Amino acid sequence: MKWRRFNGDKIDLPIKEAVRKTIIDETAKGFKLKICIGTDSQVRGEVVEFATVIVFLREKKGGFMFISNYKLKQEMGIRERMIAEVARSVDVAYSLCDLFDQYNIALEVHADINTDPHFKSNTALSEAMGYILSMGFVFKAKPDAFASSSCADKVV
């Protein structure tokens, strides 16, 4: 899995080390952090493109994100695609959660799923919420899931 910054700079360290270094650097500057992880996808022909983001929020001081993009050449229904997005976010969150515990950083996992039943993505809401909550993470869906619906959406 390759990661980059929003400006396009590649992150050469393993993601866990890059996140650890970022937490240490940001807290040394006096920032209180919260991390939000989310994934969005777009269907482009026969390819599904995904973007996963790790958003670092500095309390009352803005934020920044790390980005990972990947593609799958596979036909997917809306429910399957929503669960694939959530699975990717959960995988990333799970791989980093011990760091967040160690440094006492709040974590949220954001799902690009609408809570309004009039939207197609809503078909996966209960499954996504159950998956994220059962892993012990804080769950956010639209309109509160900005990591997936705004941040990842801009880079997919």
Q: How far is the C-alpha of 17 from the C-alpha of 20, rounded, in Å?
A: 5
Structure tokens at 120: 């197609």
Is the pLDDT at 119 greater than 90, yes or no? no
Give the pLDDT mean for 120-146.
92
Q: How far is the C-alpha of 9 from the C-alpha of 3, rounded, in Å?
A: 9
Q: What is the radius of gyration, based on Cα positions, of the chain?
A: 15
C-alpha neighbours within 13 Å on the C-beta side of residue 10:
5
Structure tokens at 143: 């309109």
Give the pLDDT mean for 6-19.
97
Whole-model pTM?
0.94
Which residues fall within 8 angstroms of residue 93, CB to CB, at 6 or more apart? 37, 107, 109, 135, 137
pLDDT at 84: 95
CATH number of 3-155: 3.30.420
pLDDT at 133: 94
pLDDT in tens, 64-117: 999 999 999 998 999 899 999 999 999 999 999 999 999 999 999 999 998 888
Q: How far is the C-alpha of 152 from the C-alpha of 156, rounded, in Å?
A: 6
Contact 107, 117 (CB under 8 A): no
pLDDT in tens, 19-68: 999 999 999 999 999 999 999 999 999 999 999 999 999 999 999 999 99
Is the pLDDT at 146 greater than 90, yes or no? yes
Is the pLDDT at 121 greater than 90, yes or no? no
Residue with structure tokens 């760091």? 99
